[in-house]
Structure 1
Amino acid sequence: MAIFRRGKKSEQTDELDATNDSTQLEDATDDTVDATLGDDTTGVDAPETTVAAKAAPLDREGNGPHDSSEVDLSEDDRLDLGALLIRGVAGMELRLEVDESANQVVGATAVIADSAVQLQAFAAPRSMGIWDEIRSEIAESILAQGGTADEVQGDLGTELRTRMPSAGPDGRTVFAPARFTGVDGPRWFLRAVFSGRAAIDDEAAAPLLEVVRSVVVVRGDSAMAPREMLTLTLPVQPDAEGADGEASQDDADTTVRADDLSPFERGPEITEVR
């Protein structure tokens, strides 16, 4: 598995970079939202119309994506990115997207051949899911741009198969496919966006789906606002230094840069794609 390889910026990026702040929930933590709705631990039942069911594959606890409480991390071979632990597969490159203004890692993209999947994790309420709402917001926004968005049932549950409009080199509108999937876990939400051939070809998506399934989300105990991004960090590269203890030029040429697929430019919150 290659790490931190620099890739070309995709044509799709500009369309995905624009955001809308209307979906942010910045003023309430996950715990206060649970208290309002009635969490299982409070003994107060919330009205059924106000609690969204968690959208996750029925076999999530057995086959992933996992919560850190569900695996033995003492003998784990996954790459540690802080909030995300990712296991590589043969032929995979891992690219990290960085918000240079904040010096913060805001996403990880696994690339295999001409397919990619971007991974981001966010805080979520303890007893309700947010994927159904987010999926609806994404679909509405893409449709408003003149694209298409269809809900289908996939390996991770309900997902969006979309075609994102953008201007081609000759000025004509072209459509880039993207496949949005989401998993509501214990106090976290994991979003995986498949692009390239994986967005339209299940066979091409299969090894990247394996990567998504192997992800472990480290939520932490701190109170966070729903949709606030969980902190990602750069992994330690044991071979990043040369014999003299300084990073080599080859390593410098493959360090992290913000590139492929940055759907939510602000980084800390999930927002609409506009």
Structure 2
Amino acid sequence: MIFSRNRGSGRHAKSDARGRQDRLDEDLDLDADAGLDPADDDEPRAAKPERAEGPYDITEAPEGIAQLDLGSLKVPAVDGVEVRVQADNDGKIQQIVLVSGESALQLGVFAAPRTEGIWEEVRGEIRKQLFNDGVAAEEVSGDYGAELRARVRSPEGLTDIRFVGVDGPRWLVRAVFQGPAAVDPQVAPALLECLRNLVVDRGHEAMPVREPLPLHLPKEVAEAGAAQAAAGADDPVGANGADGAAAPRRKPSPRPRRK
């Protein structure tokens, strides 16, 4: 797993596409008049059909799958997939991107009402925002129902993206494929395997609808990152070299003589 502090993550050469995604995240934030999804610890849930494949709710997830525990999301460990996360100084994750070859998969998980899914509504808002940005989005049918596909401009040229939404019990997983897998999912089967074995731990707390569910680094990773940051603070930039040895001081340039 690769993680960085909140000053720019290891990018998948998609800076413009990612900036567009950040704007979408802001536009889809909870409105002030939206209600809370109340906790239902004491209220029995209606029986739900078992899923043939994930993303799974924590209550229905199969056993025996190796996972990276990131709090509300349990990301399966799949050969050939690199997990890149961006976190703040407290270890709270701001972004999760899975990379396989030339394709990437960005994952997000949000609170949803108990009574109905919200992907249809969210999908419409994403499409509208893309349109406002001058990008035409096409609605297509995929493994999880209606999806959005678009082509955006990046520093490397045109980049394909595909938005997939999965409504679960009081949660929504939003998956954004980038690169070749946005056009043909079979190009990156390892990313599909990650999505199909993803597990959501919604918890029982009352949360505003569409509020991102809490994500955090594993304790050992967060502690290692904090120690690394502390070590960097003890060695100010420019004081020591890359190997920790004192950097040689440069002689001041001679002042020009006045004529």
Q: How does 1:1-274 map to 2 (within 5 A)?
A: 2-4=1-3, 7-8=10-11, 10-11=14-15, 12-19=17-24, 20-21=26-27, 24-26=30-32, 27-31=34-38, 61-71=51-61, 76-99=65-88, 104-165=92-153, 168=155, 175-237=158-220
Gap regions ≥5 residues in structure 2? 233-259
Q: For 1:136 and 1:99, how far apart are their aligned partners in 2?
A: 31
Specify the alignment match of 2:254 in structure 1. Answer: none
- Cα shift at 1:107: 2.5
Q: For 1:68 and 1:79, how far apart are their aligned partners in 2?
A: 14
- Cα shift at 1:198: 1.2
Partner of 1:63, secondary structure, is coil
Amino acid at match of 1:90: D
8 Å contact from structure 2 (residues 28, 122) kept in 1:
no
Q: For 2:50 and 2:166, how far apart are their aligned partners in 1?
A: 9
* Structure 1 residues 147 and 248, CA gap change in structure 2 (3 angstroms): closer
Identity rate, percent: 39
Partner of 1:210, secondary structure, is helix
8 Å contact from structure 1 (residues 4, 96) kept in 2:
yes
Instruction: List structure 1 runs of 4+ shifted beyond 3 angstroms.
Output: 2-6, 19-23, 39-42, 246-249
Q: For 2:76 and 2:121, how far apart are their aligned partners in 1?
A: 29
> Which one has the largest radius of gyration?
2
8 Å contact from structure 2 (residues 93, 216) kept in 1:
yes
Q: For 2:153 and 2:50, how far apart are their aligned partners in 1?
A: 33
* Structure 1 residues 89 and 23, CA gap change in structure 2 (3 angstroms): closer
Specify the alignment match of 2:237 in structure 1. Answer: none
Amino acid at match of 1:150: E
Deviations 1:76-117 (A, max 9, x none): 5211000000112111100112356x7621231111111110
8 Å contact from structure 1 (residues 25, 225) kept in 2:
no
Deviations 1:183-210 (A, max 9, x none): 0000000000000221122222332111
Deviations 1:134-167 (A, max 9, x none): 101111111222212011111121110111245x
Gap regions ≥5 residues in structure 1? 43-57, 253-274
Q: For 1:92 and 1:41, how far apart are their aligned partners in 2?
A: 35
Q: For 1:190 and 1:113, how far apart are their aligned partners in 2?
A: 23
Bigger relative contact order (CA 8 A; separation at least 6):
1
